[in-house]
Amino acid sequence: MLSRRGFLAGTLAAGVPSRPHAETGGAAPAVLRIERRGIEVNGKSASVLGIRQPGGAFGITTEVGKRFRVRVENHIEEPSLIHWHGLTPPWQQDGVPGISGPAIPPGGSADYDFPLRVGGTYWMHSHYGFQEQLLLSAPLIIRDADESSSDQDIIIELSDFSFTPPEMIYADLKARQASNMEMPGMTMQDMNMQEMGMQDMAMPAKSSAPDLNDVQYDAFLANSRTLDDPEVVKVETGARVRLRIINASSMSAYHIDLGQLEGDLIAVDGSPVQPVHGRSFPITVAQRLDIALTIPKTAAAYPVVAVLEGERRQTGIVLQAGKGQVTRILDMAAAASPPLNLDLERSLKAVAPLADRKADRTHAIDLTGAMQGYQWSINNVAWNKDVPPLSAAEGERIELVLTNQTMMPHPMHLHGHTFQVVAINGDRFAGALRDTVLVPPKTSVTVAFDANNPGWWAFHCHLLYHQHAGMFATLRYV
């Protein structure tokens, strides 16, 4: 049974390839074109994908209270479909091929139309194949009236880039793991224990280091540029600015380093949090950070960089205040940044938390991996269309207890809902509202949400190659 809300919206729009049909009235839709584009990476040209308006703007900036009335046109040579990451549309407009609806064929288009009730920093990306690795992503900013305290919005979209085609990256990952029979940082003994379901036994000290960055990228980009030739954003001295940082990387997490600046983290994943002051903030794949800061009175160039977790490699942009002189920034930080942890997560408090309520339904979800052959799964099941969805009923408060049984971190994303982080390793607290949460190795994170958007929804690891390998499930209630 489809809900009336979902069904009506679905028949109107719904990621269905559009044919000539009567307009439904109101403003003409904004057009977004999926297209090929060229960029320069470390002095070499690269052909990537992008999603732009006919005027050239990447993605969309709009306002709370408006409708998301968009036509996506596919101008590339293969099918595609765009997911509105963090938004809560009717499920048929969520942009996951095979679940929300069919992909848009080459030359085709699809229409979307739903209300935007909440502001924030969101993003859009292809959910088709490996297109996200080819930079088929863009900002999706919904401005809110109460954001007028800043003079200037500055978007920083982070990406990881490889000259190697993603299909080959994936094949290499599969082959490498199969031939080594071992993940770096994991002993054969651990693997046997995993296979035997004995993960909770004492681990040899050797295996305590997390396994990070299993794809070796050629470059890390901020707004499609490297630090060789970074974007330079002019700002006024003394201005209040709002950084909207989007981690659109396929596999890479970072620590944002504000350098000489300090700022207040005011929102995560689009949802306001009680401000946290600092100069370094972690961001895993698919998350967003909104940071408010005041540019000093001194004319100078202020780099804002993202340092890859566990390494020195970095990317970023430069804020040029007044006539400040811009100098070359190295693409290596002075020191390696540590692996991401949940210290910040533990301290975050949503400005508008969920109502306090006991869960009506709790799903225990193990994030699992058989290390041989780069197999990733949920509850030891690699996704296929016959896997039953997680159950839910409209109106319930649901909790997901996400337990990472592996040695890699997994950024877990639920479509169509905003959840609250309510426990880490069983310690309850009322944390941030999010749509993507980091679950570090051998750690459990509990999230709660209200089942208020019926449909069939994806739930998956946002590391592209983990998702592709099967760390993917669905939630369904209609």
What is the rounded distance in angstroms from the CA atom of residue 109 to the CA atom of residue 99? 18
Q: Which has the closest alpha carbon to 473: 401, 369, 360, 388?
A: 388
Residue 68 or 383 with smaller CB distance to Cu ion: 383
Candidates 169, 461, 464, 475; binder of Cu ion (CB under 5 A) is 461
Q: Enter the DSSP assignment of 225.
A: B
Q: Which has the closest alpha carbon to 352: 445, 241, 270, 263?
A: 270
Residue 80 or 194 with smaller CB distance to Cu ion: 194
Residue 413 or 466 with smaller CB distance to Cu ion: 466
Backbone angles phi, psi at 462, to 5 degrees: -90, 5
Q: CB of 376: closest distance to Cu ion in angstroms?
A: 6
Q: Which of residues 374-413 bind Cu ion (CB under 5 A)?
A: 410
Q: CB of 400: closest distance to Cu ion in angstroms?
A: 15
Q: CB of 406: closest distance to Cu ion in angstroms?
A: 8
Q: Which has the closest alpha carbon to 456: 129, 96, 130?
A: 96
Residues 6+ apart with CB under 8 A from 60: 30, 32, 53, 70, 124, 138, 139, 140, 141
Residues 294 and 208: beta-carbon distance below 8 Å: no
Residue 140 or 471 with smaller CB distance to Cu ion: 471
Q: CB of 389: closest distance to Cu ion in angstroms?
A: 19
Q: Applying CB under 5 A, does 463 fall inside the site for Cu ion? A: yes
Residues 96 and 83: beta-carbon distance below 8 Å: yes
Residue 111 or 214 with smaller CB distance to Cu ion: 214
First vs last Cα of the chain: how many Å apart?
A: 6
Read out DSSP for 380-443?
TB---TTSPPEE--TT-EEEEEEEE-SSS-EEEEESS--EEEEEETTEE----EESEEEE-TT-
Q: Applying CB under 5 A, does 285 fall inside the site for Cu ion? A: no
From 158-166, 355-363, 421-429, 468-476, span contacting Cu ion (CB under 5 A) = 468-476
What is the rounded distance in angstroms from the CA atom of residue 88 to the CA atom of residue 85? 9
Residue 410 or 415 with smaller CB distance to Cu ion: 410
Residue 447 or 461 with smaller CB distance to Cu ion: 461
Residue 250 or 315 with smaller CB distance to Cu ion: 250
What is the rounded distance in angstroms from the CA atom of residue 409 to the CA atom of residue 419? 19
Q: CB of 48: closest distance to Cu ion in angstroms?
A: 23
From 81-89, 245-253, 278-286, 458-466, span contacting Cu ion (CB under 5 A) = 458-466
Residue 51 or 471 with smaller CB distance to Cu ion: 471
Question: Binding mask 415-454 vs Cu ion (x if CB under 5 A, - otherwise)?
Answer: ----------------------------------------
Tokens 């003994």 sit on residue? 189
Q: CB of 472: closest distance to Cu ion in angstroms?
A: 10
Q: Is 177 helix (H, G, I), strand (E, B) or coil?
A: helix
The amino acid sitting at 373 is: G
Q: Applying CB under 5 A, what is the total number of residues that bind Cu ion?
A: 5
Candidates 14, 466, 470, 477; binder of Cu ion (CB under 5 A) is 466
Q: Applying CB under 5 A, does 468 fall inside the site for Cu ion? A: no
Residues 335 and 307: beta-carbon distance below 8 Å: no
Q: CB of 217: closest distance to Cu ion in angstroms?
A: 17
What is the rounded distance in angstroms from the CA atom of residue 79 to the CA atom of residue 195? 37
Residues that bind Cu ion (CB under 5 A): 410, 461, 463, 466, 471
